[in-house]
Amino acid sequence: MQTTISSPVTFTGTGLHSGRPVRMTINPASAEYGIWFKRVDIEGRDNMIPAHWASVVPSRLCTLVRNDANVEVSTIEHIMAALIGCGIHNALVEIDGPEVPIMDGSAARFVEGFIRAGVRELADPVRMIELLAPVEFAEDDAWARLEPADGFLIDFHISFPDQAIGTQNKSLDMSNGNFVRELSDCRTFCRQADVDAMQANGLALGGIPGENAVVVDGDHVVSPGGLRRVDEAVRHKMLDALGDLALAGAPLKARYVGHKAGHAMTNKLLRALFDQPDAWRLVTCDDATARHLPGVGVRRSDLPLTA
């Protein structure tokens, strides 16, 4: 069955790039509603923005959605990953600013809030997007692909010159609570030189190493406390991919493979997918399939100790 959150959950924090204080409340919604953002600080024009691949506009370093009235919300990837990773299909996200709070740089606090509030089943069945043929998008030496699979899986490969990250590979089945256990606490990461350049250009003003991001410099992890997992970087890229794929509008029955891919590439992959109607179909989940969707059966004990 489709689901929504059982009761509203509110998060407060700052935006990673703006440094601006933000209050965000995730509210229950009816079946077939999907995920919508509402900018409660804006009046006099349309302040509703669908969490949908077609609403994504190019943005540096994050995923940003915008409506036809030029009202936007950025850095939505972590909250979207938390929603799909907890099996929440319908919700209204009210936010009083243009950027989702970064929290600790992962999705763990969002997940903890959702588990505490609980998830409520709705009467309508879940429909999912089943891949019938591979679809790929590539630029330079980076690429992303969706291919048929029996379930929802993510494979990711990254390679960075900094020895603190280096080359990392990871494959995970996203069924049930695997996102919560394996990915939810993995933080965004960046190089010290990139942080300096972004802040010089008025970005990453809310970034604090150790509090909401992992910062590396060569073979050294600058952030106090170091890494939560030895492969935290590739796990966070998988978290981002899950959040960006949540904008497909329905759960996926597919394998996603990312090679040096990022937010923009995953969105371009979704656009390529929906430009090929013979590569996918919308199907109603049977009971066996529904039992293995992301988030089904998640418990508080699934949360990593860092949450």
Overall residue count recorded for the chain in this entry: 307
CA distances from 282 to 122, 148, 150, 274 (A): 19, 13, 15, 11
| DSSP letter assigned to residue 15 | B
Report the distance separating Cα 166 and Cα 259, nearest Å. Answer: 14
Report d(CA 201, CA 18) in Å as an integer.
11
| DSSP annotation of 99 | B
Structure tokens at 218: 């060569």
Those residues whose C-beta lies under 8 Å from the C-beta of residue 216, and which sit 6 or more positions away, are: 162, 164, 165, 189, 190, 191, 192, 222
Question: Mind telling me the catalytic residues?
Answer: 263
